[in-house]
A and B are shown apart, each in its own frame.
Chain A
């Protein structure tokens, strides 16, 4: 399987996960979206040196991974590319923030190391939360929930079309690369002389296919807005889910729960 096919496979796998009949998939998409939104907001709101407070936010993905059958290791596999990006950005912090945060007998930990860990945690937690959302909610449902939040239709439609056209583009890339590879078996990669025509062809074919998909939508009454009448209103269980998570997030954001627990245990000891 080449890289493009693997990417397609991963998109398909996410689509499959989002369509399963699990309790979390059955929750109202708006509720899941709001919880994720506030979680992201609360995570990024932590001071970059407040590692203990930030660690408490790991409870959200931890609990959801425990309560669902989603695989944490698989999630990490999906997130490895953006995580590399996060690490590459945060790795410079120890060089710029050299003031000591704490000193032990053997070594000094500076503020840069703490903020680097803080950034990595923020990156990981937010990405995990987004993964949990898209692995349990289809792109259509996410866009419907955005519509319910009065996000302009043009943006939700754009999001849906981009998501669909990514697949079209990847399929065309895969087809083109396979056709090339089968007729150039001794060659590693693509010869530089072929790049121009390949990219040109790819562009034209993608436009062609995207146009045909758009035509097929227009022929079925599409006039710029995706229909949003297929989702029912949130039920009691949805509101309960929302309430419990917002309560959890508020408590863990306002009070340093881990510090308080640590103090209690220290005093107790």
Chain B
């Protein structure tokens, strides 16, 4: 008998008393009771609590804010479908101008290697959805967010988020996401509580997380 059959048989035998399958009481909150402004305020508060840098700017101001954040940065990587207007200022300036970073684009045609990603200073991505109650940003690998590796290896992650994509509670975010897409949920920069159970930021993941929320 294969291990699979063996184990399934053991389980069936263990359950020979036919335990009842209970109804699931879903009486917890599954929808928001907050206004968009309250959700925004809550998300900013929770992200800052976990030592992320948060900037709230009008949507049209995205390129200017990016340029400001990236001043002095030598190189960045972006996913191939990052909305163009977000990067237009940077791209138009070009690589050789002092003060603006070289922009590497990771695409299905040209996937950056680990070594290349390790050499860039920052990554700029969009986000699929954010949960204000927990201060969580979710990436689902769509073309505006890119492969998981690009938001992992560079030491700084700049994430752009639209207010329309902010929900209050986790169930709302789960309803928006496709389970089978490769996901990364991010709540603040990388951290550890392994030393005397005190949280300290900055271990293996990006040590700086900048969240730019576009209103």
Chains A and B are bound partners: no
Instruction: Enumerate chain A interface residues (CB-CB to B < 8 A).
Output: none
